[in-house]
Structure 1
Amino acid sequence: MSRNHNNINLGSTSRKPNGSEETNAVPQSSTVPKEKRQSQISLFDAINQIKQQQKALMRDLRNDNTEKMLLIQINKWEKETIAYIKSEASKTKSRLEQIMQNINTKLKQRTDKLSQELDFISKPGKHTESGINRCKTLLEKNQFEMRKIQAITIDAPSISSLSLIKIDEGTVNTPSENTVSANDNSMKTGSHSCNRQLPVPLEITIRFREHPYPSVLINGTKSNTNEIYQLFEKLRYLNPMNKNGPMSGNCDAETTQMERFLSQTFDFKNRSTKYIVQGVKSFRLGKPLETLDPQDIIYFPNTTEKSFAMTVQEIIDWQHSYKVYADQNVKGMNSDFLCKALQGLSESGEEASRMKFVVRISQCPILMEFDARLITRELKDQWPSRIKLVSVTGIDFAGRIHDVNDITTYVTNWKDVYEIDPKTGLPFVYNGRDFQRKRGASQAELHTDRLLTDLIRMARLRLYACDKEKVQIVVETGIGLGVFAGKSIGIDGIVRALSAKAIRTVLEQDGPNYKYIRGVVFALPIFDSDLRNGRREDVYQAFVDEFDKKKYNGCIPVLIADQDMHRLTVTIAREDFSVSELNPADSHGVFGEYWQNRGPAVEEKLALTTLGLLVQHHLINPHVLDLNHYHLIQL
């Protein structure tokens, strides 16, 4: 058959009275061979099918209400956005009015008092130095209030910086030349396979905005969790974390700031000949909290209009909230041991390992984010008291003498990995604390079942403590990971995976029994760009893999976020939820013990960015060593 379709006779034509031509349904020529007539009929059927599809398409187009539905969505978004903006503007106006009213009330009271004082000391014989000093003090306070007024600003993002509504035109596969060619061949052979489905209709979807950083939301099976999903969605739209801020390296300025704050407020002084543990300076407070007026207001880092304000009584209340939860099934776990360990007096090995099954938890406000940006707080703000700091010890594969049991318990071939001291039969200790790998040593091998069992026990204990302390949203931070996950001996990937599996197991098994916990957020910033076998190897990826929707069957919703744990925690507290934040603490048991070292360790950053030094350090909070605050439990 010729490839020129114009040479094919599809049928005779007849002239209608009006002069138009009409193609007959069936070829009329009896001289046309039977095979050719069948081919012509097939081609005619194909043309009719196209005509029918064209009619159906035009009918669908006339009846299509896509534009109407999309306009409804746009109008709905417009109304809701305007209503939200008006509501926020109204709240902000009311807040401004309240702020100004409070300041003006103070100013009026002090101005009246100052006028009275001035009138009094202006009288003959009343010109006293003490009276003048009182007037100066009142004047300075009024000037300070005036500066507070002048320092008020409105932090309103520009419209251009907002992620607004937009139209996303879906991509549609267009028929390729190969497809057309295949249809042509079908027609020639008389096949009816040309009656194929048309391309997928053009889909237009409305996207309101994109998540600004990597995050994964895994639904739970528990009912009535819409409020938690709304919270998690809000968390996914926070500004991305600044990973290159001052807290990403040495913290000299922040350490100095904390030292100055403690010195000016509580007469803090280091004790030059006293140490808490090796290399950790001891200190004392010349003005302990119990000697101060409970109504005194304390400002961090100093008295400015953008400081974190708190009363002495609040700090005392936060200290009193301190609790210890410990696994009673661990050999040697008792109140006397806890009191000893929380002073940094635990012995290397078994006692240090015992601390992995101890949780310290208390109310503990956050002062700064990871980038050291100060979080301001006024006394009326209640969100700080909704935050619980959970201090726990991770399994430490850094290879140091205090945590020697972590090596000998979980690394099955540790004698092949480290140099051995012939006197003790244990890893040889250099510089008083560090183990040394053998030259050309084998890669470490893990006792994975034992490690997973203990990681599950540790996760179960800290989540139990959170639930007992009425925490609604748990913020986890990859406990025991980071530099301590054993990268130097080649086990970090396995440790990360087992840590994720441990807490997934606990959430699935214990989740239905939690009375207060309603959601879990994993704050796992992506720092490491290390790629192995074509994929990124870090804590975030390990948890995403483990909490895959096909794997996780727990009832508690989970959010995994590449985000600052402080930013997440404070946002959750400001949304009126009780929230906990995990602090991977040192196994010595002293809160933030290395906080004056100005180095990059996690525990010192927690000390510098929270009130942990005031509420969880045994030299400041007497309740840390109060046996009545210890709870020995069986899980």
Structure 2
Amino acid sequence: MSRNHNKINLGSNSRKTNGPEETNTVLQSSTVLNENSQLQISLSDAINQIKKQQKAFIRDLRNDNTEKILLIQINKWEKESITHIKSEAAKTKSRLEQIMQNINTKLKHRTDKLSQELDLISRPGKYTESDIDRCKTLLEKSQLELRKICAIKINTTSMSSLQPIEIDEGTVNSSSENTASTNDNPMEIDFDNRNRELPVPLETTIQFQKYSYPSVLINGTKPGTAEIHQLFEKLRCLNPMNKNGPMSGDCDAETTQMERFLYQTFDFKNQHKYIVQGVKSFRLGKPLKNLDPQDIIYFPNTTEKSFAMTVQEIIDWQHSYKVYADQNVRGMNNDFLSKALEGLSESGKEAFRMKFVVRISQCPILMEFDACLITRELKDQWPSRIKLVSVAGINFGGQIHDVNDIMTYVSNWKDVYEIDSKSALPFVYNGRDFHRKHGAPRAELDEDRLLTDLIRMARLRLYACDKEKVQIVVETGIGLGVFAGKSIGIDGIVRALSAKAIRTVLEQEGPNYKYIRGIVFALPIFDSDIRNGRRNDVYQAFVDEFDQSKYNGCIPVLITDQDMHRLAIAIAREDFSVSELNPADSHGVFGEYWQNRGPAVEEQLALTTLGLLVQHHLINPYVLDLNHYHLIQL
């Protein structure tokens, strides 16, 4: 056995030795076999990986809820759109009803008046040419109102303002393109994001037109203004201002309505004398002090759609009346203030002195500027959060009462206006107006003096607002309309300086205010006055000054093409104390021309607010109470 074993071993060990070529062939064959084996293993692993990924893909496909989420979004958009359309339709129907009611009221008033006039003059020999002209005028006004009705139309462009939703299929690169550019291994596929959520939150999927009117929001540097920004965003989403309502022209029906309200409630009667030239005096047969404090008063009358208030509330609003005056102005004292607030200030120096006097009181709003009534129940607290700030603006309109405005700021006024040889002052026509010379040069402004005084005025009224705990100040273009001096070529400069003045005050004094948290400029765009290729109006002047000059004050600012009444009411309803600016006349009598049935700002404020009850000296005894006057140094 051992021998055989040895043979076998010997045979095994005694094989013929291979040559070098045979050895290389064997090694190559072994290497190929090894590589093939490894390739088979790699392919097997790749197949297993694909099978694994296919199972994951099938699982993801079964679990995918994209269609469900998108359907939810579409249903949400559908619901919100229907709600939005119904809401806008209801508002538009209500507005149409109000427009027709206003026009029909005016038509009835005018036709009744015309009938009365015709009855009076129809008798032979009882009429004159002027009577006939007056009747023709009444008829023409009635025909104008009828044309207004025929001109009413639906703005078809606004009917398509609802933004449609679209399905964006997006752009997704193929896996080969992705891997070719980002992966060296073609067998690796990234499925890390296969369970990702939608990239856009559901709440932001549906978007309507964000803002319905021009506005600009300028952030302040003061921390903790998120609440004010949220308020401002709500204001930017209000309905646009109606600029073609009755307050834009003849306020005949609104004046009659106020007269009727005062007569029925307080036994209002005009007297045969005037407070100032052209301003009727009146008396109340039933003053507030003689009424029961718990009596409820309704404006304009006792209906479901009315503004309700108690006598005691009105007395409280009257008591809130305060006067703030710049003590540094020569001649400023209590005696002057009492005289001026009765309308007894003289033209020139005394009228000029009133530029530095602020009157402020609680003053609820009765109507917006389109004459739409604001309804109020006694439980509503928002009316007491509104304050009216009455300030006499600088007047470049060229009138005798404000002659010092011209003489102080227009350095070449003698070359601009016709001069009275006796007084050496601008010649006065019709008892009040100056006339520009034929071919007169453009007025030259003392811009430094004007800017200095505008800053003093802005500082005074914002100081008064802060002292009266106003949180949101609503300003308007004080004296910047027809009184900015367009006829003598200085209106653009005046507007720019006014914007610069209040920007300067906000930047300098903003950190010192205890209560003021936001400023809103209500600057409606009425005309498209294009000069040198750009719009030239109050709104644009303030946008240029605050936006392009990089306002760095701490208080947020909102510039809007909006009705200041609508803004003030919306702010008060959000539980903020708010003020709105009244560009008052330098005579010092609130709403002095309110019975002239014209469209001027202060007459409108007398008709649309409770200003006559709380700021007129013939109704509110506190207007002439020296204890309510504050002489301050700024």
TM-score (norm 1): 0.70
Over 3 Å counting, the alpha-carbon distance change for 1:543 and 1:353 in structure 2 is same
Q: For structure 1, which segment, 204-213 or 279-288, has the greater mean C-alpha deviation from structure 2 after superposition? A: 204-213
Deviations along 1:486-508, whole A, 9 cap, x unmatched? 00000000000000000000001
Match of 1:283, SS state, is: strand
2:410 equivalent in structure 1: 411
Match of 2:594, SS state, is: coil
| Cα distance in structure 2, aligned partners of 1:503 and 1:163 | 38
| Cα distance in structure 2, aligned partners of 1:315 and 1:409 | 40
Deviation at 1:480, TM superposition (A): 1.3
| Cα distance in structure 2, aligned partners of 1:314 and 1:367 | 15
Deviation at 1:313, TM superposition (A): 0.2
Deviations along 1:539-585, whole A, 9 cap, x unmatched? 00000100115520011101111111100100000010000000000
Deviation at 1:425, TM superposition (A): 1.1
| Cα distance in structure 2, aligned partners of 1:168 and 1:271 | 71
Conserved 8 A contact 1:168-1:207:
no
Match of 1:465, SS state, is: helix
1:362 equivalent in structure 2: 361
Conserved 8 A contact 2:390-2:584:
yes
Over 3 Å counting, the alpha-carbon distance change for 1:75 and 1:509 in structure 2 is farther
Match of 1:406, SS state, is: helix
1:393 equivalent in structure 2: 392
1:445 equivalent in structure 2: 444
Over 3 Å counting, the alpha-carbon distance change for 1:419 and 1:379 in structure 2 is same
| Cα distance in structure 2, aligned partners of 1:496 and 1:209 | 34
Deviation at 1:612, TM superposition (A): 0.1
Q: Which amino acid aligns with 2:240?
A: P
2:298 equivalent in structure 1: 299
Over 3 Å counting, the alpha-carbon distance change for 1:472 and 1:550 in structure 2 is same
| Cα distance in structure 2, aligned partners of 1:213 and 1:207 | 20
2:223 equivalent in structure 1: 223
For the pair 1:235 / 2:222, whether they are aligned, the reply is no
Deviation at 1:359, TM superposition (A): 0.3
Deviation at 1:383, TM superposition (A): 0.2
2:562 equivalent in structure 1: 563
Match of 2:565, SS state, is: helix
| Cα distance in structure 2, aligned partners of 1:403 and 1:523 | 25
For the pair 1:268 / 2:268, whether they are aligned, the reply is yes
Deviation at 1:626, TM superposition (A): 0.1
For the pair 1:538 / 2:546, whether they are aligned, the reply is no
For the pair 1:346 / 2:345, whether they are aligned, the reply is yes
| Cα distance in structure 2, aligned partners of 1:213 and 1:169 | 29
| Cα distance in structure 2, aligned partners of 1:224 and 1:478 | 29
2:580 equivalent in structure 1: 581
| Cα distance in structure 2, aligned partners of 1:570 and 1:300 | 17
Deviations along 1:18-53, whole A, 9 cap, x unmatched? xxxxxxxxxxxxxxxxxxxxxxxxxxxxxxxxxxxx
Deviations along 1:516-544, whole A, 9 cap, x unmatched? 00000000000011111111111000001
Conserved 8 A contact 1:418-1:437:
yes
Matched residue pairs, number? 463
| Cα distance in structure 1, aligned partners of 2:474 and 2:423 | 41
| Cα distance in structure 1, aligned partners of 2:530 and 2:576 | 37
2:324 equivalent in structure 1: 325
Deviations along 1:218-268, whole A, 9 cap, x unmatched? 111111111111110000111111100000012000000000000000000
Match of 2:264, SS state, is: helix
| Cα distance in structure 2, aligned partners of 1:630 and 1:76 | 61
| Cα distance in structure 2, aligned partners of 1:428 and 1:75 | 71
2:547 equivalent in structure 1: 548
For the pair 1:454 / 2:453, whether they are aligned, the reply is yes
Over 3 Å counting, the alpha-carbon distance change for 1:77 and 1:492 in structure 2 is farther
| Cα distance in structure 1, aligned partners of 2:170 and 2:350 | 62
Q: Which amino acid aligns with 2:254?
A: E
Conserved 8 A contact 1:412-1:447:
yes
1:499 equivalent in structure 2: 498
Deviation at 1:622, TM superposition (A): 0.1
| Cα distance in structure 2, aligned partners of 1:168 and 1:293 | 66
Any runs of at least 4 consecutive aligned residues in structure 1 with deviations exceeding 3 A, and if so which?
Answer: 70-79, 160-172, 203-207
1:469 equivalent in structure 2: 468
Conserved 8 A contact 2:314-2:613:
yes
Deviations along 1:59-107, whole A, 9 cap, x unmatched? xxx9xxxx98x9699869959x99xx9xxx9xxxxxxxxxxxxxxxxxx
Q: Which amino acid aligns with 2:409?
A: Y
Conserved 8 A contact 1:408-1:414:
yes
1:478 equivalent in structure 2: 477
| Cα distance in structure 2, aligned partners of 1:72 and 1:570 | 39
| Cα distance in structure 2, aligned partners of 1:232 and 1:607 | 27
Deviation at 1:209, TM superposition (A): 2.6
Conserved 8 A contact 1:247-1:605:
yes
Q: Which amino acid aligns with 2:318?
A: Q
Deviations along 1:284-341, whole A, 9 cap, x unmatched? 0000000000000000000000000000000000000000000000000000100000
For structure 2, the residue ranges without an aligned partner over 5 or more in a row are 1-59, 88-158, 172-198
Over 3 Å counting, the alpha-carbon distance change for 1:166 and 1:630 in structure 2 is farther
1:591 equivalent in structure 2: 590
Deviations along 1:462-503, whole A, 9 cap, x unmatched? 000000000000000111110100000000000000000000
Conserved 8 A contact 1:261-1:302:
yes
Conserved 8 A contact 1:167-1:206:
no
| Cα distance in structure 2, aligned partners of 1:560 and 1:433 | 35
For the pair 1:289 / 2:302, whether they are aligned, the reply is no
Conserved 8 A contact 1:352-1:588:
yes
Over 3 Å counting, the alpha-carbon distance change for 1:206 and 1:497 in structure 2 is farther
Over 3 Å counting, the alpha-carbon distance change for 1:218 and 1:292 in structure 2 is same
Match of 1:270, SS state, is: strand
Deviations along 1:143-199, whole A, 9 cap, x unmatched? xxxxxxxxxxxxxxxxx9995784697999xxxxxxxxxxxxxxxxxxxxxxxxxxx
Q: Which amino acid aligns with 1:233?
A: E
Conserved 8 A contact 1:167-1:207:
no
The structure in which a higher percent of residues are helix is 2
Match of 1:596, SS state, is: helix
Task: State the Cα RMSD in Å.
Answer: 2.7
Deviation at 1:424, TM superposition (A): 1.2
| Cα distance in structure 2, aligned partners of 1:73 and 1:416 | 74
| Cα distance in structure 2, aligned partners of 1:572 and 1:219 | 18
Conserved 8 A contact 2:351-2:402:
yes
1:526 equivalent in structure 2: 525
| Cα distance in structure 1, aligned partners of 2:525 and 2:167 | 29
| Cα distance in structure 2, aligned partners of 1:506 and 1:75 | 48
Conserved 8 A contact 2:73-2:205:
no
| Cα distance in structure 1, aligned partners of 2:74 and 2:511 | 38
| Cα distance in structure 1, aligned partners of 2:534 and 2:504 | 25
| Cα distance in structure 1, aligned partners of 2:244 and 2:628 | 39
Mapping for residues 155-166 of structure 1, pairs under 5 Å: 166=165
2:510 equivalent in structure 1: 511
For the pair 1:428 / 2:427, whether they are aligned, the reply is yes
| Cα distance in structure 1, aligned partners of 2:167 and 2:633 | 55
TM-score (norm 2): 0.70
